Chains A and B, each alone.
Chain A
């Protein structure tokens, strides 16, 4: 992440996504849900990308999900296992896997949200394996 991107991200986090970032700062993951069509979606935006409704509510995510895909990034300053995780609520998001040897991560692995702090103090959602999904390298779904 370039410093310029980080600065822009920091500024934009004070915009219409402020509630999302405020919740994360309190170690809570919330996601938007459309009250018109019922879909949850990610990333947050103040209207539904499926039906264009402005009738949006924040809902608490369970924090549980499944590894959709992952990779490794030796040069990354902070997160060495970039990943996509499908939340139990439905949407798949870009994140990272923490707290496990990269060689032990697998697609289908059950994970749950933990929280990490960026250099500027922003709290972001990352994921770690749930205890039951570490052992055998096999998908449990």
Chain B
């Protein structure tokens, strides 16, 4: 995506709610759409491409296009769980570069907490999936599946529960500056270790929050982006991959991030050590550790050592990660963290993060998502953004 024109992030918006009482799912999607368009200085009538996943009500992009009155010449409802929205960024950027659309809108939203309609992994009902007859009776969803990954990672690499805890501690240090964060209180490794085991070796504080809310991203062409009064943020590179249980020949300590990250870095012409800020999917603490390794921020198996001693805390650590508090402390709308990963990465590269967590002179950032389950199948997507 190094074409001279390229695709640019023009607008972002994060819904402030964490429990959307009295707001319909369609309205939540429209609210975040309008917010991101207002941030860009555009309106719904400018949108000619719309991207959504299974959290959107109805059928693909059609239902919300009708609700919002969009006139579309491009749509995409690719579904890879919580990473969907980062896949959408990649697809939207390519469609813009190819001249298929001018202004692309991506939304994610959910009101599961207020409505009580918890559907498990990514808000999707997968009861007809072929593996259900073999697997569903053995576990109760994502908790157990990520517990399996953490247990195996600890066995293979010597990762410790305290190292897992450091991921949560870093998130909490960031969340204290986020007025919307569900869990704004700073916690210590000892406090994480004192929280009850929910899926060994994972403790309650190794798990992300469940929240309502959502977010939206608007991408556009360079000339339109330049005409708007916002910082120029280019999609420098992106990648995506899907990994699965491979007929039972598997290694659950490896994620599809290895492939999606390699694609994104190659396209951007940069490497992990160039990245100044990273939004990493934090459904669980172990998810962050696996992604750090697979994206090349450290060697495979060294993720636990990498995150220890506050190394992910902005200002004191070597790599600031999830400075909004992430899914572990801020929000995780619809059990889908992909859109929020994009939002904080854009804030950082624009210089608009909270001053206490803003990375100085931040010009190159990464957002990465893992949707589904690392122990089963999952889709990974990586986006690298650069300030011009």
Contact = CB atoms under 8 A, between A and B. Distances in A.
Contact of A13 (B133, B140, B202, B252): B133
Given A42-B247, A90-B248, A82 B136 contact: no
Interface stretch (B64-72, B94-102, B142-150, B258-266): B142-150
A102 B249 contact: no
A41 B247 CA distance: 5
B224 interface: no
Interface residues of A, number: 51
Given A13-B133, A72-B199, A91 B148 contact: no
Contacts of B252: 69, 84
Interface string B237-258: 0000000011111101000000
Given A49-B246, A92-B249, A72 B128 contact: no
Contacts of A10: 133
B139 A2 contact: no
B347 to A, nearest CB: 35
A50 B249 CA distance: 10
Contact of B127 (A8, A44, A68, A91): A8
B130 interface: yes
Contacts of B138: 79, 82-83, 94-96, 124, 126
Contact of A94 (B139, B152, B155, B197): B139
Contacts of A92: 245, 248-250
Nearest to B202: A71
Contacts of B250: 92
Given A9-B132, A42-B134, 6 more contacts: A5-B136, A68-B152, A69-B252, A72-B147, A76-B139, A78-B137
A57 interface: no
Contacts of A108: 155
A82 B134 CA distance: 13
A42 B246 CA distance: 9
A69 B125 contact: no
A12 B247 contact: no
Contacts of A107: 151-152, 155
Contact of B128 (A8, A49, A82, A83): A8
A84 B139 contact: no
B148 A84 contact: yes
A126 B143 CA distance: 20
Contacts of A102: 200
A83 B199 CA distance: 11
B228 interface: no
Interface of B: 120, 125, 127-128, 130-140, 143-144, 147-152, 155, 197-202, 245-250, 252, 375-376
Contacts, number: 129
A93 B144 contact: no
B385 to A, nearest CB: 35
A91 B249 contact: yes
Contacts of A39: 247
A71 B248 contact: no
Interface string A1-45: 110111111101100010000000000000000000001111111
Nearest to B125: A4
Given A45-B130, A94-B139, A95-B138, A74 B198 contact: yes
Contacts of A17: 133
A122 B137 CA distance: 10
Contacts of B132: 5, 8-9, 12
A41 B252 CA distance: 16
A58 interface: no
A93 B249 contact: no
A24 to B, nearest CB: 11
Contacts of B197: 72
Given A17-B133, A43-B131, A72-B200, A91 B140 contact: no
A100 interface: no
A43 B249 contact: no
A43 B135 contact: yes
Contacts of B249: 41, 90-92
Nearest to A75: B140
A82 B148 contact: yes
A93 B134 contact: yes
A30 B149 CA distance: 27
A118 interface: yes
The CB with the most chain A CB atoms within 10 A, among B127, B131, B199, is that of B127
A67 to B, nearest CB: 10
Contacts of A69: 148-149, 151-152, 155, 252, 375
Contacts of A90: 248-249
